[in-house]
Homo-oligomer: A and B are copies of this chain.
Amino acid sequence: MTLRHLSRGQLERIRAAGGDPVGRAAAFADACRINALYMIARAGSGHVGTSFSCMDILSWLHLEVLEEGDRYFSSKGHDAPALYSVLIGTGALPFEGLHGLRRLGGLPGHPDAVETPELWTSTGSLGMGVSKARGFARANRLQGRRGRVFVLTGDGELQEGQFWESLGPTANGGFGEITAIVDHNKLQSDTFVSEVSDLGDLERKAEAFGWAAARCDGNDIQELASALDRLAAEHERPKLLVADTLKGAGVSFMEPHDLPVASTSLYGFHSGAPTPGEYERALAELEARLAERLAAIGLPAPELTSGEPPRRPPGPVRPQRLVSAYGQALVREAERDPRVVALDADLMLDTGLVPFRERFPDRFVECGIAEQDMVSQAGAMALAGLLPVCHSFACFLAARPNEQIYNNATEETKVVYVGSLAGLVPGGPGHSHQSVRDISALGAMPGMSLIEPYCERELELALRWALQEAGGPVYLRLVSVPWELGFEAPPQDALLEGRGTVVRDGEDALLVAAGPVMVSQAFAAAEALREDGIHCGVVALPWLRGIDGAWIAELAADAPILCLDNHYASGGQGDALLAALAEAAPEAAGRVRKLAVERVPRCGTNDEVLSAHRLDAASVAERVQAELGVRA
């Protein structure tokens, strides 16, 4: 497959074209679509549908609306490729960024104001946009500066309570300098917003909260421009523009024309790279339309620059696929126990719940992007005698409904929380999605067990234990990316509380880890060290709290104990191990070393990220050597 993009010169030529600004922006938007598609195809992942839906809005704003002192940012974050391609198109971001989406040192999967200082704020956790807009506006007022604030939100995002929480105060404060634009493409992660959790009449709601509201076709730049002009006449009230768009706009087969509006229909271009065939067809369409649009403003057809996509390492051959194994196991458990109910926060596909929904439609509750509502609802269901299981990505589930989870825990009922996408990898989405703080955030919930299985079998046992044996709430932490262990997982009959599986013997050092990513790195490190005559034991220890310290101490004998944490150093498994040893085997506590995430996760390929954080096998081996005083 050859990937093609528009060069800096081609983009400059469009920007410099005279005549009709609407026609120019439309051409620019298609040029940026071609480049966003290039970025995503090159990266191998990214959100193409939502990038395309808002491309016309971004182009118009950046070419014609934003003035010195104004700020624009996206609240939804999935549209990062769109934003990057537009900012590259205007020259605000270095052109080379086009080749570095989701790579270490390149452009992160979600906007990141530290890695990309040209951006105003980091996004990717939903619902924060209007609050941040008011923070910027308030800072302007306090600092005597002028400037408007434009924030783009998704539509599924509006299911988050914080969005509504932020509307009232923004109106009460008379923040007329704020314009929120809703990229209303009507499809959230899995399917139609109306099927997941319908938003009702958005304009009416916004007006009820004291905002000026308008609506337009957000893929029709003339309509968009007129709507923004009309709203600009409103000086006192903040402004909300509902921009009706098409997800995947600009590529006919990515638009949901043929998708029936029903909860069983899943949109195919939410995330992930296009196949080679899809790429070619999309590019051909975009190139043809760009040629038309260029002709309309008196420019010749586009000339695209070709390049090879980067070679990718082969995928894992026999990976542990925890999420799909989880989905199957949950169905089996629910067949045994009629109390089991599954709740989801718009990540049905990513949390493995499609089989459950098909098997038990009445016991499946789609909550939308509303984690707090989901968790409190589950709490009441548990009080009423059900056994609710709540699902989301670990980064969101541990944090957004943190107080609600605590409230449930104090009621001494059982709710099971399943957080997927845990840990550093996949490294592409960036730190808003790389969950390396969840163990700490949930680590002191009274009565809660925290478990991270390393293989499919251990996962099945963990789920069984959580549902049938645990006396209180359970947090099940799952690595989502299919992952090769590099060894055969030993047979396992049961989950022993506080203990794990010795996957490798060795007396010079004991490596302790949870989850497939860290266990595989520990194992590979031990393999490499054997060549130097160093023999490391490796324990897959699923318990993130409540560790059997005596058991670990006995395994370690007098050797150093290195705990690999797919988590920040504070509050992870390493700290729990230390606490367990200090209580059960004090003499061993001083031999614990924590290998953990020491800074905000980098964005990049999985290998890049593990290596950047010194949690890849080679780094682990080096640290064992250092600990043993070998080639330190």
Using a CB–CB cutoff of 8 Å, the interface residues on chain A facing chain B are 112-114, 120-122, 125, 127-128, 131-136, 138-140, 142-143, 159-166, 168-169, 171-172, 197-201, 204-205, 207-210, 341, 362-363, 365, 367-368, 370, 372-381, 383-386, 395-396, 398-400, 402-404, 406-407, 409-412, 431-432, 436-437, 439-441, 443-446, 545, 567-572, 574-576, 578-579, 581-582, 586-594, 599-600
Whether B121 lies near A362 (C-beta < 8 A) is no
Q: Closest CB of chain B to A232's CB: distance in Å? A: 22
Contact for A169 among B131, B370, B594, CB less than 8 A: B370
Q: Which residue of B lies closest to A438 (CB)?
A: B444
Q: Which residue of B lies closest to A112 (CB)?
A: B410
How many copies the complex holds: the figure is 2
Cα–Cα distance between A138 and B138 once the two chains are bound (Å): 42
Cα–Cα distance between A125 and B409 once the two chains are bound (Å): 13
Whether B159 lies near A380 (C-beta < 8 A) is no
Q: A165-B164, A363-B142, A589-B590 in contact; A578/B572 too (CB < 8 A)? A: no
Contact for A135 among B363, B384, B571, CB less than 8 A: B384
Chain B residue contacts of A121, Cβ below 8 A: 379-380, 383, 411
Q: A165-B370, A380-B121 in contact; A402/B399 too (CB < 8 A)? A: yes
Counting chain B CB atoms within 10 Å of each CB, the highest count among A171, A207, A372 belongs to A372
Whether B590 lies near A373 (C-beta < 8 A) is no
Cα–Cα distance between A7 and B139 once the two chains are bound (Å): 58
Whether A142 lies near B362 (C-beta < 8 A) is yes
Whether B402 lies near A570 (C-beta < 8 A) is no
Which 5 pairs across A and B sit closest by C-beta, in order of nearness? A135-B380, A161-B161, A161-B165, A586-B590, A164-B164
Q: A165-B370, A386-B142 in contact; A134/B377 too (CB < 8 A)? A: yes
Contact for A204 among B122, B136, B208, B578, CB less than 8 A: B208
Contact for A210 among B140, B200, B431, B582, CB less than 8 A: B200
Whether A136 lies near B383 (C-beta < 8 A) is yes
Cα–Cα distance between A278 and B164 once the two chains are bound (Å): 40
Chain B residue contacts of A600, Cβ below 8 A: 409-410, 412, 446
Cα–Cα distance between A500 and B402 once the two chains are bound (Å): 31
Contact for A545 among B412, B570, B593, B599, CB less than 8 A: B570
Interface of A: prevailing SS: helix
Q: A139-B381, A142-B341 in contact; A411/B113 too (CB < 8 A)? A: yes
Q: Which residue of B lies closest to A158 (CB)?
A: B168
7 pairs across A/B with beta carbons < 8 Å? Answer: A121-B379, A121-B411, A132-B377, A168-B200, A171-B200, A407-B432, A582-B590
Q: A122-B410, A380-B136 in contact; A208/B205 too (CB < 8 A)? A: yes
Whether A407 lies near B128 (C-beta < 8 A) is yes
Whether B168 lies near A198 (C-beta < 8 A) is yes
Whether B579 lies near A575 (C-beta < 8 A) is yes
Q: Which residue of B lies closest to A399 (CB)?
A: B403
Whether A571 lies near B571 (C-beta < 8 A) is yes
Q: Closest CB of chain B to A602's CB: distance in Å? A: 12
Q: A200-B208, A200-B210, A209-B200 in contact; A380/B139 too (CB < 8 A)? A: yes
Whether A139 lies near B410 (C-beta < 8 A) is no
Whether B372 lies near A143 (C-beta < 8 A) is no
Whether B403 lies near A125 (C-beta < 8 A) is yes
Cα–Cα distance between A578 and B589 once the two chains are bound (Å): 9
Beyond the given A139-B384, A399-B403, A409-B600, please list 19 additional residue pairs across the A-B interface where CB-CB is below 8 A.
A114-B411, A120-B380, A121-B379, A135-B377, A136-B380, A139-B385, A161-B161, A161-B372, A162-B376, A168-B200, A200-B208, A406-B437, A443-B571, A446-B600, A570-B579, A575-B578, A578-B589, A586-B591, A589-B589
Cα–Cα distance between A22 and B592 once the two chains are bound (Å): 70
Cα–Cα distance between A185 and B588 once the two chains are bound (Å): 59
Counting chain B CB atoms within 10 Å of each CB, the highest count among A166, A363, A384, A395 belongs to A384
Whether A399 lies near B410 (C-beta < 8 A) is no
Q: Which residue of B lies closest to A586 (CB)?
A: B590
Whether B164 lies near A379 (C-beta < 8 A) is no
Cα–Cα distance between A160 and B404 once the two chains are bound (Å): 13
Whether A400 lies near B399 (C-beta < 8 A) is no
Chain B residue contacts of A372, Cβ below 8 A: 127-128, 131, 161-162, 165
Cα–Cα distance between A60 and B243 once the two chains are bound (Å): 47
Whether B172 lies near A165 (C-beta < 8 A) is no
Chain B residue contacts of A592, Cβ below 8 A: 582, 589
Chain B residue contacts of A398, Cβ below 8 A: 402
Cα–Cα distance between A428 and B296 once the two chains are bound (Å): 74
